[in-house]
Amino acid sequence: MKTSIELYDYDLPDNLIAFTPPLKRDSSKLMVFDKTYDSVVHTAFSDIYNFLNAGDLLVLNDTKVIPGRLFVKKESGGAVELLFHKSLSSTEAICIFGTSGKLKVGTILNFKNKYYLTVTNIERNYVTIKSEDNIMNLFIKYGEIPLPKYIKRKVTKDDVDRYQTTYAVNDGSVAAPTAGLHFTKEVLNKLKEKGVLLEYLTLHVTYNTFKPVSNDNYLLHDIGSEYCEVKKSTIDIIKNTKRKNKRVIAVGTTATRALENYATKLYKNNYKGEADLFITPGYKFKLINGLITNFHLPKSTLLLLVASLIGRDKLLELYKKAINNNYKFYSYGDSMLLKI
C-alpha cells in the first residue's frame, strides 16, 4: 500500500470554505453514503433521523472548548501567544507558543499586570508554564476561543456559542469536535423519540488532531496523544448494539479515536488516560461501523481516518460530489453520514 500523504490531496475552491457558521446548526447540508447500496443522498442535517433506525447507537464527544488562546507579555514587553495544550496539574500546563523574539526557561510572563506565569521548560514550540493560580481558570476567564488558523477574522460572540456543541460539559479542548456542531436539542430529541440510543465519552481535542502531517510517508508522522475518558458501560452498550446487528455510529473523528483506542489497547474497565492511536488506511475498525464527520483539510490525519473507513477512492469520489454540489468544508462546514 502506498503511504504518501500526497495521495490525499484535493483541490477546493476558496468559496467552499466555511468561515462562519450556518444560520442554524441543523440547516447545514448532509451527505449520506450507504456502503451496502453504494448510494448517496443529499439532504439537510435536520433530517438525519430519517437515515437511522431504532436501536442504532450514536456516540458523541462531550468535551467543551475552552478559551484556549491567551496573549501575554514578557518582562521586556514582547508579546507572546499561548495556545493551551495539556494540563499537568491545576497550576502547571503545556502550551504551544508563538513570539517574535526568544523565550527562555525562567522567563516570567504576565497579563493584566496581575497574573504571572513562569516558563519551566521549552521543547520545540511547546512551553511548560507554572502559576500560583489555577491555570485552566485563567484561560477560561481571560482567554479567547481559538478558531482554526484559516479563519483570519476576529472572534465574535457568535463564535463563542457556535464553536461549541450543545451538549459540551467537560472543559479541556482547544478545537471543537466539529461533527457535533450540527446537533440541536430538537435533533437529539427526534433521534431519541425514534429509539436511537445516545452515549457520551470525552476526548479533549488538542493541536495534535489538526497539526500538519510532518512526513511524506504518513506512517512516520507523530500524531501524539490526547486525554480521553471512556466508560465501560458505554462499551457494554456498544457490544450489545452490535449483537443486535444495529449500527454503532461515532459522531466525529475524535469519538472514533477514543473508542478504537480503547478497543485496540484491550482495556476492560472505565478508562481515563491518553489516546494515541493513529488510524490510517488498512486499519480494521473494532467498534464502529458508521461515522458522522465534516469535510476535512487536504493531506490531514482526519482525512486518513475517513479513508480508513471507506477507502481512498470512495473518499475522493464523495469529496468531488460535495464540491460539485456546493457543500461547505472544514469546521463550520457541512457534514456526511457514512453507513458501513
pLDDT at residue 99, rounded to an integer: 79
pLDDT at residue 1, rounded to an integer: 81
For 38: left if phi > 0, alpha if psi spans -120 to 50, otherwise beta; the answer is: left
Task: Tell me the three-class secondary structure of 119-156, residue by residue.
Answer: EEEEECCEEEEEECCCHHHHHHHHCECCCCCCCCCCCC
Identity of the residue numbered 169: V
Question: For 155-178, what is the mean pLDDT?
Answer: 97
Looking at 60-64, 210-214, 218-222, 332-336, which range is the least confident one? 210-214
Percent of the chain exceeding pLDDT 70 equals 100
More confident residue, 161 or 214: 161
pLDDT digits (tens, 9 = 90+) for 96-106: 998 777 889 99
pTM: 0.94
Alpha helices in 146-264 (DSSP H): 157-162, 185-194, 207-210, 232-243, 253-264
Does the pLDDT at position 289 exceed 80? yes
CA atoms within 13 A on the CB side of 291: 27
Q: Which three cell numbers stand for residue 283?
A: 486499519
pLDDT digits (tens, 9 = 90+) for 182-194: 999 999 999 999 9
Q: Write down the mean pLDDT value for the chain.
A: 96
pLDDT at residue 111, rounded to an integer: 86
Alpha helices in 46-144 (DSSP H): 135-142
Tell me the sheet residues that pair with 203.
228
Does the pLDDT at position 114 exceed 90? no
pLDDT at residue 302, rounded to an integer: 98
Catalogue all structural domains in the chain, each as residue range(s) with its CATH number: 5-65+158-339 (3.40.1780.10), 69-142 (2.40.10)
Say which residues have a Cβ less than 8 Å from residue 34's Cβ, sequence separation at least 6: 41, 339
